[in-house]
């Protein structure tokens, strides 16, 4: 692997920060160099510093910046991560009045969280009116989420009865993989959205929003701005779930804590 100079690392992480709002620290230099190398190779440029110079010069095509964001965004996840939230959602969704029930997976990555939500809603609300919307910054992971095809290991925390009812186990060339059922995939939609920018105007108001394990990548001001932007789409009395490692204290937000990483619109 070619080396990435400290100057180029600073340049590319500043560029990524301006586009995504995410700040990558010095401890990420090896990760950034590895992912940049793949982009540079694909573009025909072997020298990483020259590749970064081209990116920062403004002469690179727009799709190159999209690919950069895709490669530098962390997307590792799995079904039913932080299961306490899904247990809480099952209780709330099951007790909610009849009618449309909407849940937003606001940093949905490759879709495991959104499909976990959908399994919970299918169990607690049956075939009545409910929908799940997933959004993510990365076009690559949004495309992967729409396919609904995953390594079986991503479902290691999924309750076996849910796995049996809502997923298909791959055979032959798909051995070791699972496919989310068509019925579930039809109730979940995915789209690209950048939480650092104005949100799509056609997003509905939500009963529940999952905004988990993404705020840790942002500085304090950006974190507060993201949460304010997101909860504008939360219905009065609606619930926001954040990651257990993420704190919203001292941000001055119109939210009240109900339990660890569970908040209600004040």
* 132: nearest Cα among 239, 238, 204, 212: 204
1, part of any domain: no
Domain boundary among 37, 72, 107: 72
Q: Residue 16's pLDDT band (boundaries 50, 70, 90)? A: confident
| Distance of alpha carbon 244 from alpha carbon 79, whole angstroms | 16
Give me the CATH number covering residue 142.
3.40.50.150
Number of domains within the chain? 2
Query: What average pLDDT score do residues 83-95 get?
Result: 97
The reply to whether 68 and 92 lie within a common domain is no
| Distance of alpha carbon 191 from alpha carbon 116, whole angstroms | 17
The reply to whether 161 and 53 lie within a common domain is no
Domain boundary among 25, 49, 72: 72
Pick the catalytic residue from 35, 125, 191, 229: 35
36, part of any domain: yes
The reply to whether 161 and 89 lie within a common domain is yes
94, part of any domain: yes
Q: Residue 209's pLDDT band (boundaries 50, 70, 90)? A: very high
| Distance of alpha carbon 91 from alpha carbon 93, whole angstroms | 6
* Residue 35 designated active-site: yes
The tokens for 78 are: 């799995």
- Lowest-confidence region among 14-18, 71-75, 96-100, 180-184: 71-75
The reply to whether 193 and 236 lie within a common domain is yes
Average pLDDT of the residues of the chain: 91
Q: Is the pLDDT of residue 74 over 70?
A: no
28 or 108, higher pLDDT: 108
2 or 226, higher pLDDT: 226
67, part of any domain: yes
| Distance of alpha carbon 47 from alpha carbon 217, whole angstroms | 28
The reply to whether 66 and 168 lie within a common domain is no
Percent of the chain with pLDDT over 70: 98
77, part of any domain: no
Q: How far apart are the first and last CA of the chain?
A: 51
pTM above 0.95, yes or no: no
Domain that holds residue 107: 83-265
Domain boundary among 19, 38, 72: 72
The reply to whether 199 and 120 lie within a common domain is yes
The reply to whether 100 and 228 lie within a common domain is yes
The reply to whether 226 and 143 lie within a common domain is yes
Cα dist. 266→210, 239, 253, 254 in Å?
Answer: 17, 10, 9, 5
The reply to whether 219 and 173 lie within a common domain is yes
Q: Residue 22's pLDDT band (boundaries 50, 70, 90)? A: confident
CB 227 within 8 A of CB 248: yes
Pick the catalytic residue from 136, 154, 207, 233: 136
The tokens for 6 are: 């400290």
Query: What average pLDDT score do residues 72-78 get?
Result: 76
244, part of any domain: yes
The tokens for 94 are: 């099951």
The reply to whether 127 and 235 lie within a common domain is yes
Residue 169 bridge partners (DSSP): 178
């Amino acid at each position: 692997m070619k080396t990435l100079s400290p100057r180029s690392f600073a340049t590319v992480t500043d560029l990524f920060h301006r586009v995504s709002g995410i700040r990558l620290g010095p401890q990420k230099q090896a990760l950034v160099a590895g992912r940049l190398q793949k982009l540079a190779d694909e573009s025909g440029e072997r020298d990483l510093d020259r590749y970064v110079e081209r990116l920062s010069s403004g002469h690179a095509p727009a799709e190159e910046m999209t690919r950069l964001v895709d490669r530098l965004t962390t997307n590792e996840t799995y079904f039913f991560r932080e299961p306490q939230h899904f247990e809480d959602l099952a209780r709330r969704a099951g007790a909610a009045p009849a009618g449309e029930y909407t849940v937003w997976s606001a940093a949905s990555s490759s879709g495991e969280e959104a499909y976990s939500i959908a399994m919970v809603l299918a169990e607690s609300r049956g075939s009545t009116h409910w929908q799940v919307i997933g959004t993510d910054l990365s076009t690559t992971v949004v495309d992967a989420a729409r396919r609904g095809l995953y390594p079986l290991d991503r479902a290691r925390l999924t309750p076996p009865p849910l796995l049996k009812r809502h997923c298909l186990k791959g055979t032959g060339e798909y051995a070791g993989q699972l496919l989310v059922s068509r019925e579930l995939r039809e109730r979940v939609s995915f789209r690209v959205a950048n939480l650092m920018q104005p949100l799509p105007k056609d997003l509905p108001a939500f009963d529940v929003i999952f905004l988990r394990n993404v705020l840790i990548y942002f500085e304090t001001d950006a974190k507060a701005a993201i949460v304010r932007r997101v909860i504008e789409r939360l219905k009065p009395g609606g619930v926001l779930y954040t990651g257990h490692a993420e704190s919203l204290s001292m941000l001055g937000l119109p939210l009240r804590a109900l339990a660890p990483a569970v908040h209600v619109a004040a």
